[in-house]
Amino acid sequence: MEEREISKAVVKRLPRYYRYLGDLLENKVERISSNELSHQMNVTASQIRQDLNNFGGFGQQGYGYNVKYLYTEIGKILGLDKTYSMIIVGAGNLGQALANYVNFEKKGFSVIGIFDVNSRLSGVAVRGIPIRMTDQLETFLQENKVHIAALTLPKTGAEEMAPILVKNGVKAIWNFAHTDLNLPEDVVVENVHLSESLMQLSYNLNHREPQGKE
Amino acid sequence: MEEREISKAVVKRLPRYYRYLGDLLENKVERISSNELSHQMNVTASQIRQDLNNFGGFGQQGYGYNVKYLYTEIGKILGLDKTYSMIIVGAGNLGQALANYVNFEKKGFSVIGIFDVNSRLSGVAVRGIPIRMTDQLETFLQENKVHIAALTLPKTGAEEMAPILVKNGVKAIWNFAHTDLNLPEDVVVENVHLSESLMQLSYNLNHREPQGKE
């Protein structure tokens, strides 16, 4: 399929469509109307029609969307038809949680290395992958193509590691550290700031429940 | 301070201001100009001025913001001047990672219970908190005031647990499961969908690096 320009707002919504379409596929649903999908996803049918128009994969009026086709096309747009090698820098609970996330592998993200500074973890295996010490990181990057690095370590460690990753060709950083990394423009960074997410929750808790808490 | 109506977009940006102001405070910076903060945060000075105008805490022209005052006021807006009791449902790596996140406690979020279905984890302690079995969850909720429940368990488990939490008075859910929970309107849900975040990363990797990957 010739890829059209897709707006940023639509791109942000794509993973959610992908998830719903994947669930439908698992439940052996072959076609779905925008109204039914709208009901399930709790967004307007007109937004769904507008968004999914980008992919051409809509059936005739009254016939519904071809679930498998749309799922595949959205997967391609998201780059899920390729495979990615990933390393995890920081082998604490969060790093281990990511390594154990089999779901990522199904989608083409394969963890090939886990690193930590804590020598007590040296050689300990997570899902069959031995934890290496971060002083081996640079050599590892020179010997292995790494597409994505997840940073699950404290702020100062992340700020120290990121330039080493970038210098050795890593172009995508999945950053869980509480800091915004300043990296060259051709490096993509996706931040997951857990404490900021928790602050949104406490804000919403306080502003949607005016009767207050004790 | 009389609380003004603050737009959703500003609220989304508040945790990031809060983080930067907290870092400044730690570095004993007492005042900062919007230009300097703009440079550090990589947003325009005029956006900073507009956003922070909501809090009144700006100094005279050329004098800069009072860091501590703004930090405190933003903290109040975010509800961080109160304390919250939190439970974690799902004691896998991710649940344990959240329990170990001391940073949350500093900000007033205190983990008082951890639950799992896996009987092998029964009684194992995480940061001094024994893991309880989920069949004790309802009794626990009746005996303890719980403000926030983090759901770090698979989709079907989350869908099963959420109504029990809501029925027993939990008004805020921090949802890490790959599903959108359908809950009453007075319950606030903050989703952290890790695999969707990873998909955004792969999308950006593919669309910002047109030379492609092997």
Q: Which residues of B touch A101 (CB under 8 A)?
A: 194-195
Nearest CB among B96, B148, B200 relative to A201 is that of: B148
Does B202 contact A103 at a Cβ distance shorter than 8 Å? no
Does A14 contact B174 at a Cβ distance shorter than 8 Å? no
- In a mutational test of the A interface, the residue from B147, B148, B206 whose CB has the highest number of chain A CBs within 10 Å is B206
Res B183: pLDDT: 94
Res A8: pLDDT: 82
Helix (H) or strand (E) holding B113: strand B109-116
Query: Tokens 């105008």 identify what position?
Result: B53
Task: State the nearest Cα–Cα gap between B135 and chain A, in angstroms.
Answer: 24
**SS3 for B83?**
coil
Give the closest residue to B152 by CA, choosing from A98, A27, A177, A206.
A98
Q: Report whether pLDDT(A213) > 90.
A: no
The CATH H-level superfamily of A84-196 is NAD(P)-binding Rossmann-like Domain (3.40.50.720)
CATH of B84-197, one of 2.60.120.10, 3.30.465.10, 3.40.50.720, 3.40.47.10: 3.40.50.720
Does B202 contact A172 at a Cβ distance shorter than 8 Å? yes
Query: Is domain A8-77 given the CATH code 3.90.79.10 in the classification?
Result: no
Res B64: pLDDT: 83
Strand-pairing partners, residue B191, are B175
Does B190 contact A203 at a Cβ distance shorter than 8 Å? no
Positive or negative torsion for Cα B50, A194, A207, B200:
positive
What is the distance between the terminal CA atoms of chain A, rounded to a whole angstrom? Answer: 57
What's the pLDDT tens digit per position in A47-91? Answer: 998 888 877 655 556 678 899 999 999 999 999 999 999 999 999
Does A199 contact B100 at a Cβ distance shorter than 8 Å? no
Q: What are the boundaries of each domain within chain B?
A: 8-77, 84-197
| B1 confidence band (pLDDT: 50, 70, 90) | very low
What's the pLDDT tens digit per position in B15-47? Answer: 999 999 999 999 999 999 888 999 999 999 999
Does B79 contact A203 at a Cβ distance shorter than 8 Å? yes
Q: Which residues of B41-74 are buried (b: 16+ CB within 10 A; e: fewer)?
A: bebeeeebeebbebbebbeeeeebbbbebbbbbb
- In a mutational test of the B interface, the residue from A81, A111, A206 whose CB has the highest number of chain B CBs within 10 Å is A206
Res B50: pLDDT: 87
The size of the A-B interface in CB pairs under 8 A is 177
Does B11 contact A203 at a Cβ distance shorter than 8 Å? yes
Using CB atoms within 10 Å of the CB of residue B123, give its burial: 0 to 12 exposed, 13 to 18 middle, 19+ buried: exposed
